[in-house]
Amino acid sequence: MEPQAILPISVAEIVATAERAKKDGNRLVQIGCTKIDDNFEIIYVYDKDYKLSSYRITVKQADEIPSISGVYFGAFVYENEIHDLYGIHVTGINIDFKGTFYKTTIKHPFSVTIVKEDDPCQNK
């Protein structure tokens, strides 16, 4: 399988990175969020000719991040998802559901990490 590297970028570089990716002929593959301790890692993934280009930002829940839906129209589904599941505010989304994209009984359900057990694997 193809080698993969995820480049760290700052919040200020998100839109410029998206614009450059589009100019270079990449399509937007996905935007996904992962909670690591008190931080949230958001990875933007682009693809051209089956080669992935991935960029990671690390933010706190209170931080605001700019939308790239002005560059890639389809980004609104990922950005609304990140807002609804993690509570991270994304500014300037072209179709902003304002927290109603997912109808969850618990607000921002993925912003809480379930306490993990440190038992060894079954296949130790």
Partner 1 sequence: MSKQIIVPFGPQHPVLPEPLHLDLVLEDEKVVDVIPTIGYVHRGLEKLVEKREYTEYVFIAERICGICSHIHGQTYVQGIEQIMGLEIPERAQYLRTIWSEYSRMHSHLLWLGLFADSMGFESVFMNSWRLREHILDDLEATTGGRVIQGVCKVGGVRKDISPEKLDEMVKGLRGIEHELQDLTNVFLHDSSIQHRLKGVGVLNKEDAYYYGAVGPTGRGSGLAIDIRETGYAAYGKINFKPVVEHDGDCYARCAVRAKEMFTSIDIIEQCAKKIPDGPVDMKVTGAPDGEFFARAEQPRGEVIHYIKGNGKKNLLRHRVRTPTFTNIPPLVTLLKGCDLADVPVIVLSIDPCIGCAER
Give the footprint of partner 1 on this chain (CB under 8 A).
Answer: 1-2, 4, 6, 22, 27-30, 32-36, 43, 45, 50, 52, 54, 72-74, 76-77, 84, 95, 97, 100-104, 109-110, 113-114, 116-124
Token pair of 65, please? 């991040």
Residue 13 CB, shortest distance to partner 1, in Å, is 20
Residue 64 CB, shortest distance to partner 1, in Å, is 22
Residue 10 CB neighbours (<10 A) = 10
Find out whether 33 and 86 touch, Cβ atoms under 8 Å: yes
Residue 63 CB, shortest distance to partner 1, in Å, is 19
* 85 Cβ contact list (under 8 Å, min separation 6): 33, 102, 104, 108, 109, 110, 111
Nearer to partner 1 among residue 12 and residue 109 (C-beta)? 109
Nearer to partner 1 among residue 17 and residue 84 (C-beta)? 84
Closest listed residue to residue 33, CA positions, set 85, 107, 77, 70: 85
